[in-house]
Chain A
Amino acid sequence: MATKRKTEPQTLPRGRHGLPRELVVENQRARIVSGMIETVAELGYAKAAIAKVIKQAKVSRRTFYETFVNKEDCYRAAYEATFEYLRDRVLAATPGEEWPSSVRTGLEALLESLAAHPNLASFFLVSPASVGDEIVSRHHLAMRELVEALVSGAPKTSGAAVAAETRIEALAGGLSRLTAMKVNAGKGDELPALLPDLVELFLRPYVGSEEAVRVAWGDERLNRR
């Protein structure tokens, strides 16, 4: 391998597909990132050796090190890609949607995206704690950003019982706990079933219990109360 240092990457050679070098590099980077996500989801971060990641990604070790400094660097890139993907699903689902039903639509998009990609769900929700303190802090921030995206249409509330800061933390904590609970139990496919619980949790601080229950569960349930 070391003797080939000065040659072009061996995978996806220019001649076969005619892609510009930038695109080949971008494509390889994306393959390594998804290789990282798959490998971490299957084996856990500690056992996700670079050898396994590059085998999954079908790139050479040299290409890996041309793209990332080390395993942690690659993990970080994979984490950011995953977060951006999920945040974009939430944002793409809600434009034009009115508050508070936008919360339901956004949460539904998030849960469906996670359920449709079990490895991505496990990578995003469960793996950060096994990597290190820095990623744990980043994950907390990312969950807060997701919550902020979900409640972005909320009108300014007056007379709120708890500070806005605490409210966002509390929602992020509830969302993390419920989703990780399903994924840890190997029931990632059941994530969409959490939708009414989460809609009620998210809306209650903003619109009160009655309206939260109505949007979350429909009129039938409300009439029983």
Chain B
Amino acid sequence: MTAGRTAYTEALVDLTFERGYEQLTVGEIVARAGGSEAEFEAHFASKQECAVAALEEMIADNQRTVKGAFESEPQWPDSLRAGAYAQARWIVENPRKTRFGMLETLWASEMTSALRDQLFGEYVAMIDAGRSVAADPDSVPPFAAESVVGSIAQVLARYSERGGERDPIAGVPEMMYLAVRPYLGEDAARRELTIPPPSD
């Protein structure tokens, strides 16, 4: 029986959420996907390769959503705020993919670290677009966006570790504060803390 390539990547993501990644076997992935070892092997050389494919799908889906929202607003930081809310909603709607994406051990191989650089590069570009509206672009520290991405990733990871105890949507104003401050200064950053989430 043919299950299809994504049946395996989805099974891997689901099983990782339920039981953790490290002990997972190809046999368990195949059983959950309702496919066969032969089909799995036709798509992936190993569990690791299947995990890389799952990360690629996750990134593509996430970036479609977040960049789409970012590009729907012409002006920074409105664009960044739209992207941030899209990101937060994506996290709420995709708890399994989020948990999977937060597994730092998955990102340690050469293949996945290139993927991470690509993903972080997208976020860095969305944040560093603030440079074009800064009063003096040269006065913004060269690595401002990189450190903001690092900060937000760490704060979000902590949200997720605490088992959804904190709502990422409620955390957006704080994230926006961190992202806006290096570009537009303290006052503009503090305004972000008072802007309510979009109603839709």
Contact = CB atoms under 8 A, between A and B. Distances in A.
Interface residues of B, number: 38
Interface string B30-72: 0000000000000000000000000000000000000000000
A181 B146 contact: yes
Contacts, number: 95
A201 B140 CA distance: 11
Contact of B152 (A130, A133, A173, A216): A173
Contact of A194 (B138, B143, B181): B143
Contacts of B108: 129-130
Interface in A165-188: 166, 169-178, 181, 184
B105 A130 contact: yes
Interface string A184-196: 1000000000101
Interface residues of A, number: 37
* Overall SS of chain A's interface: helix
Contacts of B142: 197
A62 to B, nearest CB: 30
Given A162-B174, A173-B151, A178 B143 contact: yes
B112 to A, nearest CB: 10
Contacts of A132: 22, 105
A140 B154 CA distance: 9
Contacts of B22: 132-133
A1 interface: no
Nearest to A198: B147
B105 A177 contact: no
B146 A200 contact: no
Interface string B179-200: 0011001100110010000000
A209 interface: yes
Interface of A: 128-133, 136, 140, 161-162, 166, 169-178, 181, 184, 194, 196-198, 200-201, 204, 208-209, 213, 216, 221, 224-225
Interface of B: 22, 103-105, 107-109, 113, 135-136, 138-139, 141-144, 146-155, 157-158, 174, 177-178, 181-182, 185-186, 189-190, 193
Given A130-B109, A184-B113, 5 more contacts: A170-B152, A173-B153, A178-B147, A181-B146, A213-B139
